[in-house]
Amino acid sequence: MESKLRNAAQLIRSEGFAGGYSFIFLIRWAFLSDDKALLQQIETTLEELDSMPESASLAYAYAELFEATGASFCAPAAAFLLDRCPEDDCMLLSALAKCARVFRKDAYLDRALLCDAFEGTDAFSALGMLELYRATCHGEYLNRASDIAEGIRQNFRELFRPDEAYDGDNPSFNSAVAVLYDELARITQEERWVKSREVQNHFLSLLADRYPTRVTFGLCALLSDAFEAKTVVCAVPEGMEPPELKALLSFYAPLTERIVVPSGGKEAKYFLMKKGKLEEIKGV
């Protein structure tokens, strides 16, 4: 899988960066594969964009790049895009929640709660809920994302459209669902999402074999098949915010989910979740 993703990244670069979704995948791929040259190329390209398509996916990409490199131009570029992208942009909820967390702006969270997708029942609404969960650590958003995903899982055959297998201006149903299943599997490690991810990723990998540049968003889900995914559980006494927690929540680590849960103890403890079992992390 790693060689397949490397070939996909090379093809996307050779054909020219094509919008926010390709940037999101490439930033994660460059970081995980330790391709510093590619990361620098992406940073230069995004900084020198003459005209920006007013899309939430590109705003999301700027937030992703800021996490990876700390480039100062990312915050104003993301703000410019979020001020101008249409309210029916399928990635708007995700981008607002992501930017609220990364750039520490509560105004983005306030706007996210008024976003059309906040009341939606499609894969993009669920992905937005997961970003809200990451931004706020409120379990209600994770539960809503799981409920939406379960509805998709139960009605997959009715929802799937073979003629919409590839990404266009917006990601296809296949790509969006693959990313959703992947994120839920990494966050919850529930068997239903792990199995759903395996099935969807297998199908998506066949599409990627034929034309990887047309499933660029879905390639983000395939990263979990090439690199180790981790879940860090932070057990924190209610009302306590230890300094190491803020550091743990802020560092950039694609495929690493961080879950904050209340504990009855007096000190914060940190665990690595593997296959549903917890291993305490010492010396945090």
Report if pTM > 0.85: yes
User: What is the rounded (10 degree) CA torsion for 31, 35, 40, 43?
Assistant: -40
pLDDT tens readout for residues 160-211: 555 555 555 578 888 999 999 999 999 998 999 999 999 999 988 988 888 8
Say if CB 164 and CB 173 are below 8 A apart.
yes
pLDDT bucket at 277, cuts 50 / 70 / 90: confident
Say if CB 99 and CB 105 are below 8 A apart.
yes
Question: Within 13 Å and on the Cβ side, how many CA atoms surround 212?
Answer: 24
Say if CB 53 and CB 21 are below 8 A apart.
no
The residues spanned by each domain of the chain are: 2-227, 232-280
- Could you confirm whether domain 2-227 is CATH 1.50.10.20? yes
Say if CB 12 and CB 23 are below 8 A apart.
no
Cα–Cα distance, 44 to 278 (Å, whole number)? 41
pLDDT tens readout for residues 93-124: 999 999 999 999 999 999 999 998 888 999 99
